[in-house]
Structure 1
Amino acid sequence: MGKQRNEKEPGRKLVAQNKKARHDYHLLTTYECGMVLTGTEVKSLRQGRSSLVDGFVQIDGGEAWLHNVHIPEYSQGTWTNHSARRKRKLLMHRAEIDKLESKANETGHTIVPLALYFKDGRAKVEIALAKGKKEYDKRQTLREKQDRRESDRAIAAARRRQRERAAR
């Protein structure tokens, strides 16, 4: 299987990404988790349909739960179909859950999903412990991104001109 666009490693098929989380939060640490899913949820994910925009993770009774992630109903599903926004249990090690719970209880910290993907045939979700950005932080990040893009363009244009001179 060839490497597909926006994928970091082979055997990983990206289903959904939460780009807004990277804009709205400072990401402190990331974790890869498995999920407890029904058959129709897996089939719907394999069709590449899902949304992480409003999603968040909450820890209840020593278990991590993924809330508000939209996995639409499977089109060929019957009475076995799932509800689109039900809470889903995350599969993590006890030590990771305990560490996340203690950090998430600090003021301003939350746990957000970043990506939903298949890794070697198993559905995984990448979550991150995050701290909310202030409005000026968001503007600063955008400004840095824009400056980086402009400098990359200038460097590429200079290299192009240099190649054209060398070809003459």
Structure 2
Amino acid sequence: MKKHPQKSANVKATNKKARHDYNILATYEAGMVLTGTEIKSIRAGRINLKDGFAQIHQGEMLLSNVHISPYDQGNQFNHDPLRNRKLLLHKKEIAKIAGQLQNKGITVVPLKVYLKHGFAKVLLGVAQGKKQYDKRETIKRRDQEREIRRNLKTALR
């Protein structure tokens, strides 16, 4: 029996700053506990991950400092844009992340938010902060690779 190709994830927000400021060591996919107006705002693409981070509080993973704009037609049932949101992970995954967070300079940042089968998912990255010289080195390496690709492309013509 032939398998059907899966639909690509419907990405609603990405955190470009995270990949610039951190080295991503591991990634985890987590569900989000949301209210009705929050999911409607996410479907409209009104979410900002820029300063967001995740933390473990009483054995639960919480997503903090992620701004989900209030829904326009939400009236009195609207949500607080910066409230902490519970993330749905297995206990083993939370324990594994907690073990990694014991190391100095390690944090958990949201990399992107997307819809998968109608549910909002967040891709979390266990990350280690980069130094300023590491950032410059990454930019330099990326420019060199781009120049090599450009030279190869012109050489093949």
Q: TM-score, normalised by structure 2?
A: 0.94
Corresponding residue of 2:122: 125
Once the two structures are TM-superposed, the CA of residue 157 in structure 1 deviates from its matched residue by 1.6
Which of 106, 110, 116 aligns to 1:109? It is 106
Whole-Å Cα distance in 2 between the matches of residues 157 and 138 of structure 1? 29
Corresponding residue of 1:12: 9
Corresponding residue of 2:133: 136
Q: Does 1:43 find its partner at 2:66?
A: no
Which of 24, 29, 33 aligns to 1:27? It is 24
Q: Does 1:93 find its partner at 2:71?
A: no
Q: Which runs of 5+ in 1 are unaligned?
A: 1-8, 161-168
Q: Is the 1:11–1:120 Cα contact (8 Å) retained in structure 2?
A: no
Whole-Å Cα distance in 1 between the matches of residues 61 and 150 of structure 2? 44
AA at the equivalent of 2:86: K
Once the two structures are TM-superposed, the CA of residue 32 in structure 1 deviates from its matched residue by 0.2
Cα shift readout 1:82-133 (whole Å, capped 9, x = no counterpart): 0111100000000000111121121110000000000111100000111111
Percent identical among aligned pairs is 51
- Name the stretch that deviates more: 102-111 or 62-71: 102-111
Q: Is the 1:17–1:114 Cα contact (8 Å) retained in structure 2?
A: yes
Q: Which has the higher strand share?
A: 2
Corresponding residue of 1:79: 76
Corresponding residue of 1:62: 59
Which of 148, 153, 157 aligns to 2:150? It is 153
Q: TM-score, normalised by structure 1?
A: 0.88
